[in-house]
Amino acid sequence: MTDIHIDPERYELTEPARYVFDLPEVDRRQFLRIFSVLGGGLVVAASMRASAPLYAGDEQAPQDASEVQAWIHIDERGQVTAFTGKVEIGQNIRTSLSQVVADELRAPLASIAFVMGDTDLTPFDQGTFGSRTTPAMAPLVARAAATAREMLIDRAAAAWQVDRATLRAADGRIAGAGGRSAAYGELTKGQRLAGRVTASPAERKGWVLRGTAVKKIDGRGVVTGRHTFTPDVTRPDLMAGCIARPPAYGAKPRAVDDSRARVMPGVTVVRDGDLIGVVAANERLARQALVALQIDWSPAPAQPSSKTVFDHLKRTAAEGTAGGGRGGRGGAPRVAGDVVRARAEAARVFEASYRIPYIAHVPLEPRTAVAEWTDGRVTVWTGTQRPFGVRTEVANAFGLAEDRVRVIVPDFGSGYGGKHTGEQAIEAARLARAAGRPVKVVYGRDEEFSWGYCRPAGVIDIAAGVDRDGRLTFWEFDNYNSGASGLPTPYAIPNQRQAFRASDSPLRQGSYRGLAATANHYAREMHMDAIARALEVDPVTFRLTHLENARMRAVLEAAAKHSGWPKSSAAGRGLGIACGTEKGSYVATAAEVSKTADGFHVDRLVVVFECGAVVNPDGLHNQVEGAVVQGLGGALFEAVEFADGKILNGTMARYRVPRFKDMPPIEIVLLDRPDLPSAGAGETPIVCVAPAIGTAVRAFGPVDQALPIRLL
């Protein structure tokens, strides 16, 4: 599996209908499976290592670089099918990846189809998170498509006995001198051609479809209601299942009386270890049966509330800095220079402690799974960002080999980092096994709030000092539990100590859009602004004085220019600004706010974003805008309230998410850098929304060192 620069077996291209490629056994089996599913034609496989030089300078190297990550098949009619384990959740990669394939293959966009997130059909993938698709997967499929194109040229050159340099690919055909041409399907007819990537993708200047605002594939299916989301999946004899949930975290069933539920027509009560559930012909019958179950629950153990959680997180954090908290992960602190000495010598020291609440992802499509058992194998349709991770979870839950589990992920109603796990898949599979029929489980909104997971809460303590000239000399940053991403300061400060400590979390917590980078940027940028104000230095100038990175300077300067810094666009408004970088892209956000009777109102946002070369400008604009809107929620009102093991605001009415009336005018400026590799864009634009607003609100008085933003 390590020899990845194998040439396509060119000498075989003239010899039709034979499996002959000198590939490792695993690859051979994969190729044969593709041919068996899709018929003959041409297949190119691509692995991460082959595209390694094209990474956008990130630190997250793939764990197993030799694995095949994507493949492309061209059938005998010229239909192109590309396979990736990534999933489509609204970030529009089905479209942007299709643009890449069409461009490199010189084939019409309409001839490209993507099979995504199906563990039986697509290559292994760690998951759709971390803004990895565009920087890592897109270059990979680009190389696979370019290689397929070159193989087709080779095939035509051999068939026509001409020099390949006289041939060109366009519109799904290879054309040569004298008007001779053949469609891709004609060239692959009767063939079983296989190869691994060898060709390089086009430079930015060679892009045709990439860089243009191609419309979302199957936008028509979305607006007509035809698109199949996870809750819309149906199977023959499908039943609906519901799970009995404890009234509070830690409560256990002491006694169960299911006699009333059991006699309801068509109802199956399932008792399987700790799981109590019901299965019925449809969901409303299942919900009725659930209500008929009489369960005596034990009292919930004492546990922190949303009011006491911050003390709890600091108290339970790992002592020292290298180890983890109870059940959590910690990391070695990042240290430079001598902070103790710098602190002793500082002219002024600024300290603050910022509190970050738990927040909920609230995807409109709740956790959903359909499970079906056949001959000891289980197939699960579910909305998850980690199809292969969920396959492992299901296999482990039932003691099955992974090849006995198939996870299929429809293009689903989004996740924002909140759907990395497979509890709903396991629940549906347990109910289906007990009922002997396929079962669908759709979480209610209350279940989604209480039994999904949250963006971690945390406390971030910062101490920073300046010398007599107002230059930062030291920076101490202690993050308790909210997470390590986006933690290192981008500012040039000689003495630094920055650490993340995991704590004991009373709520189930996990990934989120931008994850901890949002919290870390909030604390850092609020603190930079506070220091600048205290020193009576312009906050933009103060940042630029400490910024060396040219890309970061560029977005900050552009945001200052577009917002009209330092003057707000209307009298009486506060203007704030923040900048940051995460996952290889750069953002600066400016916010204008005005005073209201009960606080403040956001009147305008200016967002400057730079993520290297832009693949689909309209899709990118949409992602940036969406991230900014999501950021507004966390900045202004989102916080999960809980006490005694219960979520107190777990409804759409009580947990406020951004709505139409919360929208300020949002001006988005995209800095296209065709000279740079494309970085991911779905997350980073969220990170500066809260600090831009928080610093703007300081025009009206001191601001609480907490999210959501409140005037004291």
Task: Give the binding site for another protein (CB under 8 A).
Answer: 89-92, 215-216, 219-220, 222-229, 231-232, 234, 240, 282-284, 362-366, 411-414, 416, 442, 444-445, 618-619, 622-623, 625-630, 651-653, 657-661, 663, 666
- What are the start-end ranges of the H helices in 470-515? none
Q: How far is the CB of 515 from another protein (least distance, A)?
A: 17
Q: Strand pairing partners for 500?
A: 479
- How far apart are the C-alpha atoms of 18 and 32, rounded to whole Å? 11
Q: How far is the CB of 514 from another protein (least distance, A)?
A: 13
160 touches 14 (CB < 8 A):
no
Q: How far is the CB of 418 from another protein (least distance, A)?
A: 10
Q: How far is the CB of 611 from another protein (least distance, A)?
A: 17
- How far apart are the C-alpha atoms of 214 and 208, rounded to whole Å? 11
> Residue 223: phi, psi to the nearest 5?
-80, -10
Nearer CB in complex with another protein: 337/444: 444
Q: How far is the CB of 686 from another protein (least distance, A)?
A: 10
Name the burial class of residue 6, with classes exposed (0-12), middle (13-18) and buried (19+) by CB atoms within 10 angstroms of its CB.
Answer: middle
| 377-382 vs 368-374, strand pairing mode | antiparallel
Q: How far is the CB of 446 from another protein (least distance, A)?
A: 8
52 touches 135 (CB < 8 A):
no
The amino acid occupying position 603 is D
242 touches 394 (CB < 8 A):
no
Nearest by Cα to 602 from 706, 703, 705, 692: 692
Nearer CB in complex with another protein: 156/217: 217
Cα-trace Rg, the chain: 28
Q: How far is the CB of 98 from another protein (least distance, A)?
A: 15
Token duo for residue 9:
């077996």
Q: How far is the CB of 91 from another protein (least distance, A)?
A: 7
Nearer CB in complex with another protein: 176/680: 680
Nearer CB in complex with another protein: 442/555: 442
Nearer CB in complex with another protein: 1/668: 668
Nearer CB in complex with another protein: 106/437: 437
ω before 123 within 30° of 0 (cis)?
A: no
Q: How far is the CB of 631 from another protein (least distance, A)?
A: 9
Nearer CB in complex with another protein: 503/623: 623
| 439-442 vs 239-243, strand pairing mode | parallel
Instruction: Give the chain's length.
Output: 712
Nearer CB in complex with another protein: 429/628: 628
Nearer CB in complex with another protein: 104/638: 638
Q: Look at residue 485 and give its three-state secondary structure.
A: coil
- How far apart are the C-alpha atoms of 110 and 484, rounded to whole Å? 42
> Residue 47: phi, psi to the nearest 5?
-120, 160
Strand runs labelled E in 559-644: 574-582, 585-596, 599-610, 642-643
CA 9 and chain centroid, separation? 38
Q: Is 467 left (phi over 0), alpha (psi -120 to 50) or beta?
A: beta
Nearer CB in complex with another protein: 261/466: 261
Q: How far is the CB of 649 from another protein (least distance, A)?
A: 12
Nearer CB in complex with another protein: 364/492: 364
Q: How far is the CB of 708 from another protein (least distance, A)?
A: 17
Q: Strand pairing partners for 242?
A: 278
Name the burial class of residue 571, with classes exposed (0-12), middle (13-18) and buried (19+) by CB atoms within 10 angstroms of its CB.
Answer: exposed
Nearer CB in complex with another protein: 368/678: 368
Q: How far is the CB of 127 from another protein (least distance, A)?
A: 17
Q: How far is the CB of 325 from another protein (least distance, A)?
A: 31
Nearer CB in complex with another protein: 355/437: 437
273 touches 433 (CB < 8 A):
no
402 touches 390 (CB < 8 A):
no
- How far apart are the C-alpha atoms of 74 and 150, rounded to whole Å? 13
- How far apart are the C-alpha atoms of 223 and 668, rounded to whole Å? 26
Nearer CB in complex with another protein: 220/341: 220
Q: How far is the CB of 630 from another protein (least distance, A)?
A: 5
Q: Measured between alpha carbons, how far is residue 509 from residues 27, 98, 176, 275, 360 in Å?
A: 38, 34, 59, 22, 10
